[in-house]
Homo-oligomer: A and B are copies of this chain.
Amino acid sequence: MRARLIVATRNLHKVDEIRSMLPNYEVCDLSAINNPPEVAETGETFLQNSTLKALAISRLTPELVLADDSGLEVDSLDGAPGVYSARYGGEEGNDALNNEKLLKELQGIENRTARFRCVLVLAQHGKALADFSGAVEGNILEAPSGVGGFGYDPLFAPEGYQESFAELGENIKNSMSHRAKSLEKLTSWMSEFLK
């Protein structure tokens, strides 16, 4: 029987990615929980927000809960949008507004280095069991390009590539992304935990 994981996020793109990268798990979204609460992401770091989300949902179910907090850190913006990545443009989860705002902030700025970071927290019975993180370095393009992925994927070219994550497509993105790296650590930890 496959182990079940409840992913504590309302972002179904994240659930899809996690599901496609964890074929040996039954990955459920929040519809597995009755009336899941809105969790305010009041933390100042990915780890704090990911922990908030994992614990809030874990208090409502005996199952394993996985939270994912992730975002983009742009060096010449002193790490912005960071924990505000999903609401940078003023409207939670509006990718187009977020990308537009980012390009505006970087207008005329030559230094475009950035990284995507992901912090996963695994919880059960209201307690954090472990956390896992991953990051991918890259550069912000001058204009969005490509139709794959979500979030800032059309503007983010991973190091060594001219193309954005959105252009490179799911297979390449999921072989090197921040989320892929942290999920790899999760699965290695889980294989010990489930023994």
Residues of A within 8 A of B (CB): 44-48, 75-76, 78-79, 110-111, 113, 115, 117, 119, 130-137, 185, 189
- Asked if residues B113 and A135 are in contact (CB atoms below 8 Å), the reply is yes
A76 to B121 alpha-carbon distance, docked (Å): 11
- Asked if residues B78 and A48 are in contact (CB atoms below 8 Å), the reply is yes
A117 to B115 alpha-carbon distance, docked (Å): 11
A189 partner residues in chain B, CB cutoff 8 A: 110
Query: 9 A-B Cβ contacts within 8 A?
Result: A45-B78, A47-B75, A47-B76, A75-B117, A110-B131, A111-B130, A111-B131, A113-B134, A113-B135
- Asked if residues A113 and B133 are in contact (CB atoms below 8 Å), the reply is yes
Can you list the 4 inter-chain pairs with the closest CB atoms, starting with the nearest? A75-B133, A113-B133, A45-B78, A111-B131
Q: Given A45-B78, A76-B47, A135 and B133 touching (CB < 8 A)?
A: no
Chain B residue with Cβ nearest A44: B78
Q: A45-B78, A110-B130, A111-B130 are in contact. List 17 more A-B contacts (CB 8 A).
A: A45-B79, A47-B76, A47-B78, A75-B119, A75-B133, A75-B135, A110-B131, A111-B131, A111-B133, A111-B185, A113-B133, A113-B134, A113-B135, A115-B135, A115-B137, A135-B137, A137-B137
Distance in angstroms from A155 CB to nearest chain B CB is 17
A44 to B78 alpha-carbon distance, docked (Å): 9
A113 partner residues in chain B, CB cutoff 8 A: 133-135
Distance in angstroms from A55 CB to nearest chain B CB is 17
A110 partner residues in chain B, CB cutoff 8 A: 130-131, 189
- Asked if residues A132 and B111 are in contact (CB atoms below 8 Å), the reply is yes
Distance in angstroms from A48 CB to nearest chain B CB is 7
